[in-house]
């Protein structure tokens, strides 16, 4: 019997370790702009809700508390423009990474079924296909895909790593095409609240989906908008038939978010002030890092939304990684997201203001 791990690619982050050691040896300490992990505090109102729910001896439900489902429905209507949503249109999940990795298995996909995702993409879409032994295909434009055997189409707008945003017209065309061919669309929208030079639109917006959620599901996460990556809190929204099926499977599989996390998610989804404050922090860091990189001769593509700058010096990405590591700055090589990224690096905005200042100082022309 072959090990499941044999189906998976080499864990790419291990390859970055030597450069991390170089950057860490800088006298001013490392500025780690590689993994996009939130560093700012969990907002007080969310911490309070978590603590208030600490005495939770019973099993939580997979579908979530009625309060959580209410909060999810209200958020989708308020923030995404979804209309006539009900509890059957939402499903809380443990983090969205876990969902992405195990979705093809839970949808019953296998050999001969195809999973498609963007040419430059979050690597877990491919991992999910591999775990299910399904085929996988990377696309430049989903409308150019061969629909035969295609069962699951991943969209990711705003994109990790490029920060590219799909326009409302592009989304509308893709959803119509997928429906015509009976292909299920999962739209990973976990950076939707972080638009800078673009205002990202959800697939659930009536102008995209025509007010019907048939064949479309949006994936959302509280990790980025509310600094909750440590809690593991995400959710799905859209087609009630698909979500109903997933609910049944997940009940058997025991994939329920913890009760204190569910309570914390209610508080997080019911408040937009902390999201606005966090956005302001990222906007300032983005501006400073962007100016510093441009000053060093970098070119920045897309990056109109999300938590990253997609930057290049038109050289192999590992040369750029090495150059920046010598300055004590760690970034992610673009080829982690597909061979097409081999001349780019991904620069995360997730460090403190003090570390951003250290980076800009080191990048300043001398």
Ligand X SMILES: Cc1ncc(COP(=O)(O)O)c(C=O)c1O
Q: List interacting residues with ligand X (CB under 6 A).
A: 36, 95-97, 100, 122, 156, 160, 188, 190, 221, 223, 229, 234
Omega cis (within 30) before 161:
yes
Nearer to ligand X, 60 or 118 (CB): 118
Nearer to ligand X, 228 or 327 (CB): 228
Nearer to ligand X, 188 or 239 (CB): 188
Distance in Å, CB of 311 to ligand X, minimum: 17
- Spatial separation of the C-alpha atoms in residues 60 and 51, rounded to whole Å: 16
Distance in Å, CB of 279 to ligand X, minimum: 17
Q: How many residues does the chain have?
A: 366
Nearer to ligand X, 223 or 278 (CB): 223
Distance in Å, CB of 107 to ligand X, minimum: 17
- Spatial separation of the C-alpha atoms in residues 12 and 124, rounded to whole Å: 12
- Spatial separation of the C-alpha atoms in residues 99 and 103, rounded to whole Å: 6
Nearer to ligand X, 97 or 274 (CB): 97
Nearer to ligand X, 132 or 234 (CB): 234
Distance in Å, CB of 89 to ligand X, minimum: 19
Q: Residue 174 is encoded by which pair of tokens?
A: 């893709």
Nearer to ligand X, 41 or 211 (CB): 41
- Spatial separation of the C-alpha atoms in residues 175 and 183, rounded to whole Å: 9
Distance in Å, CB of 4 to ligand X, minimum: 20
Distance in Å, CB of 112 to ligand X, minimum: 26
Question: Token pair 């860490």 is at which residue?
Answer: 24
Q: Which of 39, 33, 20 is nearest to 278 (CA)?
A: 39
Nearer to ligand X, 95 or 328 (CB): 95
User: What SS3 class is residue 182?
Assistant: coil
| Cβ 64 vs Cβ 257: under 8 Å | yes
- Spatial separation of the C-alpha atoms in residues 87 and 262, rounded to whole Å: 15
Distance in Å, CB of 218 to ligand X, minimum: 12
Q: Residue 364 is encoded by which pair of tokens?
A: 């300043």
Distance in Å, CB of 3 to ligand X, minimum: 24
Nearer to ligand X, 233 or 363 (CB): 233
| Cβ 205 vs Cβ 176: under 8 Å | no
Distance in Å, CB of 186 to ligand X, minimum: 11
* DSSP calls for 211-233: T--TTEEEEEEHHHHTS-TTT--
- Catalogue the long-range contacts made by 248-251 (C-beta closer than 8 Å, 24 or more residues apart): 249/106, 250/62, 250/91, 250/93, 250/106, 251/62
- Spatial separation of the C-alpha atoms in residues 18 and 20, rounded to whole Å: 5
Distance in Å, CB of 36 to ligand X, minimum: 5
Nearer to ligand X, 216 or 358 (CB): 216
- Catalogue the long-range contacts made by 338-342 (C-beta closer than 8 Å, 24 or more residues apart): 338/119, 338/120, 338/121, 338/138, 340/119, 340/120, 341/120, 341/161, 341/317, 342/316, 342/317
């Amino acid at each position: 019997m072959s090990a499941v791990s044999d189906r998976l690619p080499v864990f790419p982050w291990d390859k970055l370790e030597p450069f991390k050691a170089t950057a860490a040896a800088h006298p001013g300490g490392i500025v780690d702009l590689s993994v996009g992990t939130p560093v700012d505090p969990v907002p007080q109102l969310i911490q309070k809700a978590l603590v208030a729910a600490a005495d939770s001896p019973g099993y939580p439900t997979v579908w979530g508390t009625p309060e959580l489902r209410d909060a999810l429905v209200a958020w989708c209507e308020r923030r995404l423009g979804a209309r006539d949503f009900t509890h059957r249109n939402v499903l809380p999940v443990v983090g969205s990474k876990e969902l992405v990795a195990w979705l093809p298995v839970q949808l019953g996909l296998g050999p001969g079924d195809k999973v498609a995702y963007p040419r430059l993409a979050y690597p877990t879409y491919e991992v999910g296909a591999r775990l299910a032994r399904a085929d996988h295909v990377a696309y430049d434009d989903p409308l150019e895909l061969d629909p035969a055997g295609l069962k699951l189409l991943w969209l990711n707008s705003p994109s990790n790593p490029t920060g590219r945003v799909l326009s409302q017209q592009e989304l509308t065309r893709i959803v119509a095409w997928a429906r015509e061919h009976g292909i299920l669309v999962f739209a990973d929208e976990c950076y939707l609240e972080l638009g800078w030079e673009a205002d990202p639109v959800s697939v659930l917006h009536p102008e995209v989906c025509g007010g019907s959620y048939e064949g479309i599901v949006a994936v959302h996460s509280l990790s980025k908008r509310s600094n909750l990556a440590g809690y593991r809190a995400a959710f799905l929204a859209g087609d009630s038939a698909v979500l109903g099926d997933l609910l049944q499977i997940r009940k058997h599989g025991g994939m329920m978010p913890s009760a204190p996390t569910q309570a914390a998610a209610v508080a997080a989804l019911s408040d937009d002030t902390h999201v606005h404050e966090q956005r302001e922090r990222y906007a300032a860091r983005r501006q400073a890092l962007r100016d510093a990189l441009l000053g060093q001769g970098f070119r920045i593509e897309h990056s109109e939304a999300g938590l990253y700058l997609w930057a290049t010096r038109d050289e192999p990405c590992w040369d750029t990684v090495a150059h920046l590591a010598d300055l004590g700055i760690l970034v992610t090589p673009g080829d982690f997201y597909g061979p097409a990224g081999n001349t780019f690096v991904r620069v995360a905005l997730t460090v403190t203001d003090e570390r951003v200042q250290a980076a800009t100082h080191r990048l300043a022309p001398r």
